[in-house]
A = this chain, B = another copy of it.
């Protein structure tokens, strides 16, 4: 009974309002919910976590620059004042598309409109056994685990008795030269060269080696080639070793092996080489692309089920301009807003235009005063790109309060090179 009670609002006696169920409160799902403010619908947001995560800054949690709570906001708080929204902390296990019901661990939730916005996770392309040796970065749990691994490597190096062991502990390998890999490689280098440089007695943290391995022939493949080159130069100036055109063929506790037969001994390998969409295509029994993304129509619905929208990193979308929409936060937000408008349009018996992605540009950060920005005709590198990146990320960070806290942290870090969140917690703790 709860399922219907939640959907229809069990305190009201009016005729039933349309029930919108949104699975996932990332950028896509959250913006659908926000876009339905004051709409005459009952919205249920289901997420297996209680917080919305600002993923673009997750690498800063993984490298001890920010605390988890600075980039994560309770979903309930964001939606508290929007009275047509109910938030459920549940793990979705399946969708009964014929019966129009979402099946979670503990209940079923009926819908009239369904929005699937369950994102993506890092993927090992047939080598799931690499995950233990080379964790990826998608959740707060991933980030604190990576933080613990990086900091623990320095701790172990400090007491290592053999030079070979010490070198291995002070070698960090980041696999994948996309934005996350570039950010991680830059941030680990700055951590070693600046934040913790004075803290050890038996090792020189500055001597840590950070290797960024990319199978393709350039970094940041979605950027113009000139910016890829600039990113590479900025990373190398920082001290990162960049190895292009070499695929990783093995990840293990001793390090990685590359396709050219070379090996890099390392006790800390991080995976940023690819993502796989959530299981939504399996739930719905619909076709997916190679990355597991549901292939959706121009209005973001799926074939035969006009009431089911799939958005964000879970969807493969060719927009009205005929281009594939990239898997970035602004695209997910725009899709979320679009779906809210589409649902309102249907209730008014009109049809929305097909989804059109407004591309305001592409940013990637490398380190202090180092970044690249592709704004179409305008391309920036170095300090101007970094200032743009910083202000854009502060601006979009959810929650006024978090914006202030992160801003102050960044000013502090810029002035002192300090890192505020150098805690080894998690598995190692208790």
Contact = CB atoms under 8 A, between A and B. Distances in A.
A43 to B, nearest CB: 11
Interface stretch (A72-80, A275-283, A351-359): A72-80
A425 B199 contact: no
Given A50-B424, A88-B159, A141-B430, 7 more contacts: A50-B151, A67-B67, A74-B199, A86-B201, A139-B430, A140-B429, A401-B418
Contacts of A202: 5-6, 86
A423 interface: yes
A70 interface: yes
Given A80-B198, A159-B88, A430-B139, A423 B106 contact: no
A207 interface: no
Contacts of A198: 80-81
Say which size band chain A's interface belongs to: 35 or more
Interface of A: 1-2, 5-6, 49-51, 67-70, 72, 74, 76-77, 80-81, 85-90, 106-107, 139-142, 144, 151-152, 155, 158-159, 161, 196, 198-202, 401-402, 404-405, 408-409, 412, 418, 420-425, 429-430
Contacts of A106: 159
B142 A80 contact: no
A165 to B, nearest CB: 12
Interface centre among A68, A72, A106 (most CB of B within 10 A): A68
A142 B430 CA distance: 7
A89 B155 contact: yes
A412 B405 CA distance: 11
Contacts of A161: 1-2
27 contacts: A1-B161, A49-B429, A50-B155, A51-B422, A51-B423, A67-B67, A69-B420, A69-B422, A74-B423, A77-B196, A77-B418, A80-B198, A80-B199, A86-B202, A88-B158, A89-B152, A89-B155, A89-B158, A89-B424, A140-B429, A141-B429, A142-B430, A144-B425, A401-B412, A401-B418, A405-B409, A408-B408
Nearest to A53: B423
A284 to B, nearest CB: 24
A159 B90 contact: yes
A422 B199 contact: no
A80 B418 CA distance: 12
A68 B425 contact: yes
B80 A423 contact: no
A251 B45 CA distance: 35
Contacts of A87: 158, 199, 201
Contacts of A408: 404-405, 408
Contacts of A144: 425
Contacts of A142: 430
Contact of A69 (B50, B412, B421, B430): B421
A70 B67 CA distance: 9
Interface centre among A50, A404, A421 (most CB of B within 10 A): A50
Interface centre among A85, A152, A425 (most CB of B within 10 A): A425
